[in-house]
Chain A
């Protein structure tokens, strides 16, 4: 079933009776070449690229709940490639290019909207850092533009330019950045993988990983054992528990990150805007809700809900920067479970167990990484060599201390990211 304007028109005229489920609901087979644990954005994208780029279709994605029910449906939908450090910068550059061709590739409307991101700066030090980061981005062939205070005012006149403590001195803009419909990304990859023969198996929690003689041979699930030549983790905030089934301890702490949506408002915020004071990021959805978030709650959590102090901090920052929203009501908030590494950058690597692969540590950057992560992870699983764009996402960098990617410069330590 292909989607097209013509198809939408025809279905509209015939009572929408021709639409079929987007993917099958197969029973698990007893053996696969590759089993992917986790049916979120990264797991589904990995399955898709395994099938499409590497011709490996005897693949199962095992999901303990429903497809896309985790962080891929719980984020603030921002897509960007404005990282500074080698390792991160080429990876997110690779990922953004895949975002740009994703809808055509998947024949699926992910509502990719390259509305641009503006990172505001409020003092000379932040401005210097923005210039330096912008130059690094431009030098590797991506786009970045330094905006003056007046240029920012033209694009976002509703910001508080009179704030004495955090004056807006300008912003670093990346016009190719933007937002995408997060659920549709998961569904698009699910459909694409399913069409190429991948089995997407929901309500299938993995309860054990079978290792024999240092090599992975399969998994135990609530729907019975499944043998596998290769097993790939893509379990995000639950990575620690899944890895523990294979006897591994990861350099990962799971934290809660809250996100918020206001009531629907008329169009006001045309871009994604981030404030360097308080790490706030906002955008406006097509329904009119302002979608925003700020820091982690800063304590380990699997509760998928946060505490009020961070709600208060986020609202204070938002109202300080956009006084016009002070009368808008908050519609809802929720929390996602973030797999935080000591240096704030991810891990895509072999594990110490033969045939078991790791994809974790996405911190709060997992959504924009979705296509890139799927692509490079599929490459690693298929060829046993790291993809060039993810060669620095090594597991052993924490043990050796070499190759740490501490984007914020706060120190490679668990409680600082």
Chain B
């Protein structure tokens, strides 16, 4: 599996750390159920999934990667900072 980092180009999977599904971070005072959904619950699809990968051994960027979990095909990559996932900047 190879991921094309927007800053570094196509790189081996070994350079990246996997975080999981790319979910929009709830506001600080959000309801417990909203946080429960963010922290624990997963749609867990067998197909395209938006994920967060960290280019740990490259440019140290967090990336939003759209990847097919059934085939491992990488469908799209963008910088997480430009993906509107919320949280403090």
* A residues apposed to B, CB below 8 Å: 238, 240-241, 244, 249-254, 298-303, 307, 309, 342, 398-399, 413-415
Known interface pairs A309-B12, A399-B32; 20 further A-B residue pairs with C-beta atoms within 8 A, sorted by A's residue number? A238-B46, A240-B44, A240-B45, A241-B46, A249-B41, A250-B41, A250-B44, A251-B40, A253-B21, A253-B44, A300-B49, A300-B51, A302-B69, A303-B69, A307-B1, A307-B72, A342-B39, A398-B36, A414-B40, A415-B19
**A residues near B44, Cβ cutoff 8 Å:** 240-241, 250, 252-254, 300
B36 and A301 contacting across the interface, CB-CB below 8 Å: no
Closest 5 CB pairs of A and B: A240-B44, A251-B40, A302-B46, A398-B40, A249-B41
The interface residues of chain B, by DSSP majority, are classed as mixed
Bound Cα distance A145, B67 (Å): 46
B43 and A240 contacting across the interface, CB-CB below 8 Å: yes
Closest to A248 in B: B41
A414 and B72 contacting across the interface, CB-CB below 8 Å: no
Does chain A have a CB within 8 A of B37?
A: yes
A299 and B18 contacting across the interface, CB-CB below 8 Å: yes
Chain B interfacial residues counted at CB < 8 A: 27
**A residues near B71, Cβ cutoff 8 Å:** 303
Q: Within the complex, which residue of B13, B32, B49 is in contact with A309, where a contact is CB–CB below 8 Å?
A: B13
Q: How far is the CB of B51 from chain A (nearest CB, A)?
A: 7
A414 and B36 contacting across the interface, CB-CB below 8 Å: no
> Can you report 12 A-B residue pairs in the complex whose CB atoms are below 8 A from each other?
A238-B46, A241-B46, A244-B43, A251-B40, A253-B20, A300-B51, A301-B72, A342-B39, A398-B39, A399-B36, A414-B20, A414-B40
Q: Within the complex, which residue of B18, B33, B72 is in contact with A303, where a contact is CB–CB below 8 Å?
A: B72
**A residues near B70, Cβ cutoff 8 Å:** 302-303
